[in-house]
Chain A
Amino acid sequence: DVKVTQSSRYLVKRTGEKVFLECVQDMDHENMFWYRQDPGLGLRLIYFSYDVKMKEKGDIPEGYSVSREKKERFSLILESASTNQTSMYLCASSPQLSKQPQHFGDGTRLSIL
């Protein structure tokens, strides 16, 4: 079974702080993704990576950056947290093969005060 592990289930930070969200997958998947989920908006793609040290912007990258130094780990960074970044953050991974589903972690509920 694919295991995608997000380091924190709940996180509370203050406006202006630099925030790191960590994600690790154990299936040797090439692709990794970061989404945020907000009520009525579904899941929106922030960034994704198709290989180590490679990254591509998703649909809503503003205010975020990412890091992929090792194949199994993909980090999301909020450079200077703002209240509108309060959300549920979901990490996913998938193999390089086409037409394969993405597998998700359990999410990090982040509150910015």
Chain B
Amino acid sequence: DQQVKQNSPSLSVQEGRISILNCDYTNSMFDYFLWYKKYPAEGPTFLISISSIKDKNEDGRFTVFLNKSAKHLSLHIVPSQPGDSAVYFCAASAVYQGAQKLVFGQGTRLTINP
């Protein structure tokens, strides 16, 4: 069973507009959530995270929102730029054997059109 789901495989947004990427999870034990960005032929790069005790975290153009009651998180990118075109993975985390073990969604391919 997929504990973390990204239901949109792809998203296309005009440059300068807002990009909203969504992620749902099922396990209420997750206490830390992350977004990663991945370009082709490179490893995922950490973008932004949020602890379960918060509902919003901002870093420049990137904001992550967490709705614990709905088990839903979203990533907002404002304004969107061509360099934001990449695959975005959300991940949810719980501690196991002292390690923060991540469960990833399937990814959403974001394309920013000029």
Q: What is A's interface to B at a CB cutoff of 8 Å?
A: 4, 9, 30-31, 33, 35, 40-45, 48, 50, 54, 56, 58, 90, 92, 94, 96, 98-107
Which of B41, B95, B102, B105 is in CB contact (< 8 Å) with A102? Answer: B102
Given contacts A96-B98, A98-B95, contact A42 B49 (CB under 8 A): no
CB-CB nearest in chain B for A49: B99
Bound Cα distance from A48 to B101, whole angstroms: 9
Bound Cα distance from A100 to B98, whole angstroms: 12
Identify 19 new A-B residue pairs, CB closer than 8 A, beyond the known A42-B106, A56-B99: A4-B43, A33-B99, A40-B9, A42-B4, A42-B104, A42-B107, A43-B44, A43-B91, A45-B101, A45-B102, A50-B97, A54-B97, A56-B96, A94-B100, A98-B95, A101-B34, A101-B49, A102-B102, A103-B46
Interface of B is mostly: strand
Which of A40, A56, A98, A102 is in CB contact (< 8 Å) with B97? Answer: A56
- Max chain B C-beta neighbours (<10 A), residue from A43, A56, A92: A43
Q: What mask results when residues 72 to 94 of chain B are scored 1 for a CB within 8 Å of chain A, else 0?
A: 00000000000000000101010
> Count of A-B contacts with CB under 8 A?
74
**Is A107 in contact with B43, judged by CB distance below 8 angstroms?**
yes
**Is B44 in contact with A104, judged by CB distance below 8 angstroms?**
yes
A113 shortest CB reach to chain B, Å: 21
Chain B 23-61 residues near chain A, CB threshold 8 A: 31-32, 34, 36, 41-46, 49, 51
**Is A94 in contact with B9, judged by CB distance below 8 angstroms?**
no
> With a CB–CB cut-off of 8 A, which chain A residues contact B6?
42
A100 shortest CB reach to chain B, Å: 7
> With a CB–CB cut-off of 8 A, which chain A residues contact B51?
99
A110 shortest CB reach to chain B, Å: 14
Which of A9, A90, A94 is in CB contact (< 8 Å) with B99? Answer: A94
